[in-house]
Amino acid sequence: MRFARDLPVLRQPIRNAPQYIQQLADRLIGLKDKHGILPVKLKDAIQAYHSPSEPIKDYMFTSERTDADTNTDDDSPDNGSLEQFDRLVEICDNTWKCETIGRNFYEVEWNETVHSPMLRLVTRGRRDLECRNLTQANISKRWTDPETPDSRIDYGVFAVPALDSDLYNRIFSYIQQHPGSQVNPLEDIDPDYPLAIIIETKQLAPGVEKADTQLASFARCLMRLTGEFTFAKDPQLIPLLKVVGSDWRLNFMTRENNRASLTILFTWAGRLSTDWWSSALSDEELRIATQSH
C-alpha cells in the first residue's frame, strides 16, 4: 500500500508521531516496571495464583486506581472485583493451553477462549465503549479500496455517546439532515457509533503476516469516511491493535511497535474518539453554513 494512488501508507517511528501519541506510548512503556498496577484488595488472591518464575512484590499493588476513569461502574475490571480476577485467570489458563507445544489450536479457538474474552473483560462495565465482532461485517462500497479488497477485521471498539451528551445530539442531527449517512464505514452496524479502535487477531501460523495489511487497509477505508467530516489539514489518529496468539501489539495510523495495556488504551481511545467526532461534526456544521452563504 506504499504505492497506492489514494492514501498511500508510510511507516514512521513512534518518535515522529504527534506529542499526544508519544505520551500514551510513554505510559504503556512505563507499565513494564509494574509499579501500582494491581488492586490491593485482591492481593491475597493474586499472590495465591502467581507463577514461581514471576514473584508478586508489594510495590505492584496500589490502594487507588492509577488510571481512574469516572465513566465506569462497579462491573468494570478496573475496580478489581474477584469475579473479574477469576475471569482473567481463566483467560491466562486458556492462553497456556493454546500455546502448549505439540497441541494444535486453531485461530477460532484462540478467539473464543482468549482474544474475545479479554476484549469483553476490558470493555465490560464501560458505558462509553462497546466491543463488536466484525468478522461478518462488510465495509460500505463507498469507502472500499479496489486496490486492496481484503479489508475485513475481527473486532472493533466503538465509542458510545451518552444519550444526553453533546456528541450524541450532533450525530443524531447530522444523520437526520443527511439520510443514509453514518459515522462508521460498516454496513449493518449501528450507524451512530464512531469506530475508535480496530483489531485483527491471528494465531502464530502461515498467514499471520496479513494482519498488518488488513489493519492498514481497513484504516484507510475509515479515513475516507472521516475525511468527509473535517478539513484535510486536521490531524486524525486510529489505533490499530494486532493480536498474534498471546502477543498484543499497538500501532497508530495518522493522516500527517509498542506493547499495549488494554485498559489505558481503551480509556484513552474512548476520550480521543469522542473529542475528535465532537470537533469534526462542529466543523461539518461550519462548512455547511459557509456553503449556504
Q: Tell me, rounded to whole angstroms, the distance of Cα 215 from its chain centroid.
A: 12
Question: Are residue 265 and residue 238 in the same domain, yes or no?
Answer: yes
Range(s) of the domain holding residue 42? 35-61
pLDDT digits (tens, 9 = 90+) for 156-167: 999 999 999 999
Which of 3-17, 22-36, 171-185 is the least confident region?
Answer: 3-17
How far is it, in rounded angstroms, from Cα 74 to Cα 150?
Answer: 40
pLDDT digits (tens, 9 = 90+) for 245-257: 989 988 888 776 5
- Classify residue 149: in a domain, yes or no: yes
Which of 16-30, 34-48, 240-254 is the least confident region?
Answer: 16-30
The pLDDT of residue 234: 60
Consecutive H or E run containing 244: strand 237-244
Counted domains in the chain: 2
Contact in structure between 155 and 201 (CB atoms under 8 Å): yes
CA distances from 287 to 77, 105, 161 (A): 41, 52, 23
Tell me the Ramachandran region of residue 32: left when phi exceeds 0, alpha when psi lies from -120 to 50, beta otherwise. alpha
Question: Are residue 149 and residue 252 in the same domain, yes or no?
Answer: yes
Consecutive H or E run containing 118: helix 116-123
Q: What is the mean pLDDT of residues 178-199?
A: 91
Q: What is the CA radius of gyration of the chain?
A: 20
The pLDDT of residue 50: 74
* pLDDT band, residue 66 (cuts 50/70/90): very low
Choice between 64 and 253, residue whose per-residue pLDDT is larger: 253
Question: Are residue 50 and residue 174 in the same domain, yes or no?
Answer: no
Question: Are residue 24 and residue 161 in the same domain, yes or no?
Answer: yes
The pLDDT of residue 93: 92
Q: What is the mean pLDDT of residues 1-25?
A: 68
Question: Are residue 54 and residue 139 in the same domain, yes or no?
Answer: no
Angle 262-292/116-123 helices, nearest 10 degrees? 70
Task: Return the closest-CA partner of residue 221 out of 291, 145, 107.
Answer: 145
* pLDDT band, residue 9 (cuts 50/70/90): low
* pLDDT band, residue 285 (cuts 50/70/90): low
The rounded percent of the chain whose pLDDT value lies above 90 is 27
- Classify residue 109: in a domain, yes or no: no
Question: Are residue 44 and residue 169 in the same domain, yes or no?
Answer: no
Q: What is the mean pLDDT of residues 170-193?
A: 91
Question: Are residue 162 and residue 52 in the same domain, yes or no?
Answer: no
Q: What is the pTM assigned to this prediction?
A: 0.79
pLDDT digits (tens, 9 = 90+) for 86-134: 999 999 999 999 988 777 788 899 999 999 999 999 998 888 999 999 9
The pLDDT of residue 106: 84
- Classify residue 281: in a domain, yes or no: yes
- Classify residue 113: in a domain, yes or no: no
Question: Are residue 39 and residue 50 in the same domain, yes or no?
Answer: yes
Q: Which long-range contacts (CB under 8 A, 24 or more apart) does 20-24 make?
A: 20/272, 21/237, 21/252, 21/254, 24/264, 24/265, 24/268
Question: Are residue 177 and residue 193 in the same domain, yes or no?
Answer: yes
Q: Which long-range contacts (CB under 8 A, 24 or more apart) does 101-109 make?
A: 105/203, 106/203, 107/201, 107/202, 107/203, 107/205
How far is it, in rounded angstroms, from Cα 121 to Cα 9?
Answer: 32
- Does residue 72 have a pLDDT over 70? no
Question: Are residue 199 and residue 282 in the same domain, yes or no?
Answer: yes
- Reported as half-sphere exposure (CB side, CA atoms, 13 A), residue 270 has a value of 21
The rounded percent of the chain whose pLDDT value lies above 70 is 78
